């Protein structure tokens, strides 16, 4: 009988959950530093252009005071091809020019709010919060993709998923004179 209050007290202490103070709107450009254990932020990218349909999702999860990143890539043009890279520690500082935070700052500066359509270039989500970034046509989209590819190359330098070999050089056919 003496153990019952102690058991109830210990159970109540362990059942309390810490509510994260992370707020996507306030912490977006410093998310890697401000996320708390148990937080998950997803960055979904639309890499589609013309007749090419592709996307990537970057999932950032904070566990045991370490931020991890997992990447999922998908091409749906002419059949479906996917790739999931395993979780790795995300060690890029928010101040690094090739960090996701600086990429998101760049998108914010270049965002075209008056041109918003149904298809955002980048969507960042945390629980029920989200932030969307848009492009202003094909040239703007490719410029923003190039910046993303530099960030991605910094984190995953050996990821071959979207890399293609150069086409072979053209063969020269000589006409025979009769």
pLDDT digits (tens, 9 = 90+) for 57-69: 999 999 999 999 9
Lowest mean pLDDT among 12-26, 49-63, 111-125, 141-155: 12-26
Sign of CA dihedral 138, 140, 141, 142: positive
Distance (Å, whole) CA 32 – CA 96 = 12
Per-residue model confidence (pLDDT) at position 89: 97
The pTM score is: 0.79
State what percent of residues in the chain have pLDDT above 70.
79
Q: What is the pLDDT of residue 117?
A: 65
Cβ atoms of 41 and 70 within 8 Å: the answer is no
Whole-number Å distance between alpha carbons of 22 and 83: 30
Q: Round the average pLDDT of the chain to a whole number and report it.
A: 84
Residues β-bridged to residue 30: none
pLDDT in tens, 47-102: 998 888 999 999 999 999 999 999 999 999 888 999 999 899 999 999 999 999 99
* 121-134 mean pLDDT: 94
Compute CA distances 125 → 28, 43, 58, 137, 154, whole Å. Answer: 10, 7, 11, 24, 22
Q: How confident is the model at residue 175 (pLDDT cuts 50, 70, 90)?
A: low
Residue 119 confidence class, pLDDT cut points 50, 70, 90: confident
Helix boundaries (H) for 38-128: 100-110
pLDDT of residue 9: 47
Phi, psi of 152 (to 5 degrees): -65, -40
* Kind plus residue range of the DSSP H or E element containing 61: strand 54-63
pLDDT at residue 78 in the model:
83
Q: Take residue 70 and report the two structure tokens written for it.
A: 């997992």
Given this model, what pLDDT does residue 7 score? 52
């Amino acid at each position: 009988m003496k153990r019952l209050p102690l058991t109830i007290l210990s159970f109540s202490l362990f059942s309390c959950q810490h509510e994260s103070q992370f707020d996507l709107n306030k912490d977006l450009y410093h998310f890697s530093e401000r996320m708390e254990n148990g937080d998950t932020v997803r960055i979904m990218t639309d890499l589609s252009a013309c007749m090419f349909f592709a996307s990537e999702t970057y999932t950032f999860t904070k566990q045991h005071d370490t931020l991890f990143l997992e990447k999922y890539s998908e091409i749906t043009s002419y059949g479906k091809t996917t790739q999931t890279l395993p979780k790795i520690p995300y060690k890029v500082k928010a101040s690094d020019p090739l960090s996701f935070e600086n990429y998101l700052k760049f998108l914010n500066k270049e965002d075209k709010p008056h041109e918003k359509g149904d298809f955002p270039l980048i969507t960042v989500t945390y629980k029920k919060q989200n932030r969307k970034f848009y492009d202003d046509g094909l040239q703007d989209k490719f410029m923003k993709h190039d910046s993303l590819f530099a960030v991605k190359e910094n984190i995953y330098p050996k990821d071959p998923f979207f890399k293609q070999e150069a086409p072979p050089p053209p063969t020269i056919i000589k006409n025979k004179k009769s």
